[in-house]
Structure 1
């Protein structure tokens, strides 16, 4: 994972919300993000470094208000770390390439696939649609 000490490089590139989410580990409000309810096909990339993270094929409606995926595109693009903020234990998900905070992963996803729910902030990703969309 890259050195996270140089957040200034992202300040001009990102919106204030994107910066707060990806660099300061904020969470956007449920049901407000651009991708929570989209069914467009394509690949979701890290908003900071453009790394490919998830595909629309792994996206599902978890009714939680954030985009949810049952698996990353490649396991080596995601870093997981224990998050004990807010008085609870969760597993934080970050981009391996640049360290951007993406969201959290929970063990309550579709049992017929991975059983995992990657709950991702829309502000941390960018959907690159397939040409048919």
Structure 2
């Protein structure tokens, strides 16, 4: 796996995101992947987190929509730019058959997924 440095496009600070924790682009998530990079873990000291709870219709993808959106904003600690969101649609935390044996559902706790907008990042090869 090629190593890369992910920086904030606004201020240029290294966000210390490890390609080791990057989900492959073809992995399916309810909230989608378009125009984003998703990580399973990040260095929380580089960011501020702000809870967001909106009650209004929203559409993530053609097939994924809802009325109440609960997510957390990821904000660059250095300049205050919004760089992404935390979603709770990562891999299931427990390895089980799911509710009524239908597989993972909202009832089963899921790992957080840190979804960064590609237009908010600068990606450069590690030298």
Please indicate the TM-score interval, normalised by the length of the shorter structure: 0.5 to 0.7
Number of equivalences? 91
TM-score (norm 2): 0.61
1:115 — aligned with what? 111
Which ranges of structure 2 fall in alignment gaps of 5 or more residues?
57-68, 94-109
Task: Check the 8 A contact 1:51/1:77 in 2, yes or no.
Answer: no
TM-score (norm 1): 0.59
CA apart distance, 1:90: 1.4
Q: Do residues 95 (structure 1) and 76 (structure 2) align? A: yes
CA apart distance, 1:45: 0.8
Moved over 3 A (4+): none
CA apart distance, 1:58: 1.4
* CA–CA separation in structure 1 for the residues paired with 2:55 and 2:120: 20
Give the CA RMSD over aligned residues: 2.3
* CA–CA separation in structure 1 for the residues paired with 2:14 and 2:91: 22
Distance 1:115-1:89 versus aligned 2 partners, 3 A rule: closer
Matches within 5 A, 1:1-133: 40-53=2-15, 54-61=17-24, 62-63=27-28, 64-65=33-34, 66-72=36-42, 74-85=43-54, 87=56, 88-111=69-92, 115-131=111-127
Structure 1 residues 69-88: Cα deviation after superposition (integer angstroms, max 9, x where no partner): 1122x211111101234732
SS in 1 for 2:45: helix
Q: Give the greater-gyration-radius structure (CA).
A: 2
Bigger fraction of residues in strand: 2
Bigger fraction of residues in helix: 1
SS in 1 for 2:50: strand
